Amino acid sequence: MLHQLVAMMILFFVTGVKHIGAKNILEEMKGGTEGDHQQATKADQENTNRSNKGLFDIFDYASDLVDDATDYASDLFDEATDYNSNYGSDYGSAKSAIIFLHGLGPALSGFCNDLLGPSLGLSDDVVVRCPKAEQRPHSLLPHTWPEVSDRTTVRSWFDFWLMPAASVLSPEPGEERTELAAAMRGVEGIIEELAREGVASENIVVSGMSQGGALTLYMAVNTKYKLGGFMGIVTWMPLLNVEPSSGWQPVNRHTPVLLMNGLLDPIVPVVPAGSRTSEALDSVFSHFSYKRVPGSHLTTVNPLTVPLLHNWLKANTPLSFKTCLVPPFCFKK
């Protein structure tokens, strides 16, 4: 994760220099040179003009360097979060699989592979899939974003315009229903691919964090496939009041479902986003568990909570595991 953070810091730093620092310096130079011109002789003016031209050439060159650095940092960040998105067994020996859906923004495939592979102690015969959402505009992108970045899109499973705490209380939809349904069909395509290769749908677990967790819970209610489990982390139930739990008739009513939220999470607060989501899921799913753990939106998955996820998956899903002292200290069977 360190190289990902460094890449992001480089990106924001050089972008800020480009759009703020260089602009201010040039404006000050222009103002200063205009005053000099009024007092200079013709010869002095020519010398000043030649000097300024040289200085502006330097700043043009520096601006080009900043552009190159921005592009490099962007590419570095993409590369840092774009590892091989498939971990674990080849299809031939696979008995079970887990699909992980990332949150809004970078796919973080490396984090997915690390978490659902070595960290959780999954057996080598478990297939891990880390799909990526499409790059698309999003309603929560600030209007100033194009001014500090050439990127006007983010990886997003579906559009939403209400933050989770507002969404679970609002009588109006906070998420785009058609995009949610389309994203679910995309994940179902992965389930169908795994089934063709010999992994039964009942042996597949769908999991996700934040926006990906919201899609995970939406699938628990709406997918047509009987699955092996659902695990949503730092997340909420989308369209909670538009499609209330009283009308849910899920195929996976008796499939284990885990919701884990951070007590210090300002993005998806435990009250009301976590509590309202928990109440709705608990009223429908016979094997629902709700865990509230120390942590914020980005730190809820940590060395203290990974064993909790390991133990829940091992006790409630068909996934197989290595022998572990405490995850990630695991050994092959």
Strands (E), 57-165: 86-88, 96-101, 126-129, 135-136, 154-155
Q: What is the DSSP track for 274-312?
A: IHHHHHHHHTT-TTEEEEEES--TTTSSSTTTHHHHHHH
Helix (H) / strand (E) containing 257: strand 257-262
Q: What is the pTM of this model?
A: 0.72
Task: Give the residue extent of every domain in the chain.
Answer: 2-80, 86-331
**How far is C-alpha 179 from the chain's CA centre?**
17
Rg, the chain, Cα only:
25
DSSP state of 247: G
pLDDT digits (tens), the chain, 333 positions: 434 443 444 444 444 444 444 444 445 444 554 554 455 455 555 555 555 555 445 545 554 554 444 444 444 444 444 433 444 444 345 689 999 999 998 877 677 877 776 788 899 899 999 999 999 988 987 655 554 455 578 899 999 999 999 999 999 999 999 999 999 999 999 999 999 999 999 999 999 999 999 999 999 999 999 999 999 999 999 999 999 999 999 999 999 999 999 999 999 999 999 999 999 999 999 999 999 999 999 999 998 999 999 999 999 999 998 887 666 666 665
CA distance 153 to 134: 9
pLDDT of residue 72: 44
Contacts by 134-139, CB closer than 8 A, 24 or more apart: 138/104
Q: How many CB atoms lie within 10 A of CB 166?
A: 13
DSSP state of 253: T
Question: Which fold does the domain 86-331 belong to in CATH?
Answer: Rossmann fold (3.40.50)
